[in-house]
Amino acid sequence: MSPNDLHAQLRAARRAHQRAEFSLAVLLCELKSTGRYTERGHTSVESYAEAELDLTVRQTRDLVAIGRHMRELPALAAAFSDGRLSATKAREVARVATPDTDAVWTERACMSTSRMLERQVAAARRGDTPPPDPAALPASPRVTLRFDVSAADAEVIRATLARLRLQGGFGADCEDGVLLADLARNALVELEQVPPKAERFRVSIHHCPSCEDTHVGDPQAPSAPEHTDLACAECDAEMLDLTAPKPRLTHAIPPATRRKVFEQHGHRCAVPHCRNRLWLDLHHIRPRSQGGDHRAANLICLCSAHHRLIHDGALGLVLDAETQRLRFVLPTGEVLGDPPQLTIDDIATHVGQTLESRPGATGRELTRGAGLVATALDTLRALGRAVVTVDDRWFPAGAVVGA
């Protein structure tokens, strides 16, 4: 193969890759807007893409951010879908382009390197046009800070940024530098002894034991909580009995037990593909209505999103009586975290390829071996058709928890 042929094939492969990135951006944006990642047992589009598509969180967020701008930036969408722009360039253009400047920024991206485009975008504001000189590299207004910290301190920083991103109203696309700057400003406020802000929001469920009335929020304008909210609260909540002479705060689960379960699960959700370490709840493996208790062996750690999915019936929790292994099962019967199972047809293909690759095998031997394999596979298929249902012999009824 000549160098020119190889170069042409590489360019064609790169354009095909960029067209595939465009499809990913559009589809991931639709997945995030519809929330259909919960159908696969995920709590976010980032979790879905990491487990199902082998994309990093940063890649997913970049593609979703690009997908959101495709309708309002038609020139960018056309260049990206044709494979003339990479996801990196499309991300940079989407940061500054508006419908009025869409065409000029897209044209500049097509004729510039990624590095040159990043520098020009960094020096512009949304709505600005690119500089006249395509080769101009303006001084970057950004400064890079680097710190060496221990692994434990790094985990604290990551958890803090994740919590601030969720609770501070910054949005999932907010950069770490913006969050760190906000933390520094708040620290300066504390050092200057400015009065602190109000307490963080807390959900309160009011229940009257005499009339059995339950509501959420202001008693003067009550609203009935959803069944899922009540079920989650019954698993893990703080309770204050206002009818007692001296009301005191109690816990559904003792704090010592709560800490023990969190430590056992590494302060993260127990669902295999979930990496959430925020808004963690405790959930009873065997419900208290079925004889379950508050012992640590009967509790698992779940993020609030997966906790709701289980009580909504969108995710099942199955305890294997023999191995005592927990399995999270989708309504389709698929077990989350299990490796894909080979089908009988997969086995047949593998055996056939093995027979054909045997050195020195005669045609008669191959024919005879293929006939024996075909007979065995027909027998396995017949057995598979005979066992098509799951009953109490497979999973005891008392071991199935959830929906």
Q: Which residues pair with 299 in a beta bridge?
A: 284
Residue 153's pLDDT band (cuts 50, 70, 90)? confident
How far apart are the C-alpha atoms of 375 and 365, rounded to whole Å?
A: 16
Query: What three-state secondary structure class fits 307?
Result: helix
How far apart are the C-alpha atoms of 104 and 80, rounded to whole Å?
A: 15
Q: What is the pLDDT of residues 97-132, one digit of tens each?
A: 999 999 999 999 998 888 888 888 888 888 889 988
How far apart are the C-alpha atoms of 251 and 90, rounded to whole Å?
A: 51
Beta strands 238-240; 249-251: pairing state: antiparallel
Can you give the residue ranges of every domain in the chain? 3-122, 151-191, 236-329, 344-386
Q: What is the pLDDT of residues 221-267, one digit of tens each?
A: 555 555 666 677 777 777 766 667 777 777 778 888 988 998 888 88
Q: Which residues pair with 319 in a beta bridge?
A: 326
How far apart are the C-alpha atoms of 66 and 85, rounded to whole Å?
A: 12
Beta strands 205-207; 214-216: pairing state: antiparallel
**Residues 165, 169, 174, CA angle at the centre, nearest 5°?**
50
Query: Whole-prediction pTM value?
Result: 0.59
Given a contact cutoff of 8 angstroms between Cβ atoms, the answer to whether 169 and 201 are in contact is no
| Residue 303 DSSP label | E
> What is the maximum alpha-carbon separation in the chain?
93
Query: CB 283: neighbour CB atoms within 10 A?
Result: 23
Given a contact cutoff of 8 angstroms between Cβ atoms, the answer to whether 306 and 271 are in contact is yes
User: How would DSSP label each residue in 2-19?
Assistant: -HHHHHHHHHHHHHHHHH
Q: What is the pLDDT of residues 270-287, one digit of tens each?
A: 888 887 777 788 998 888
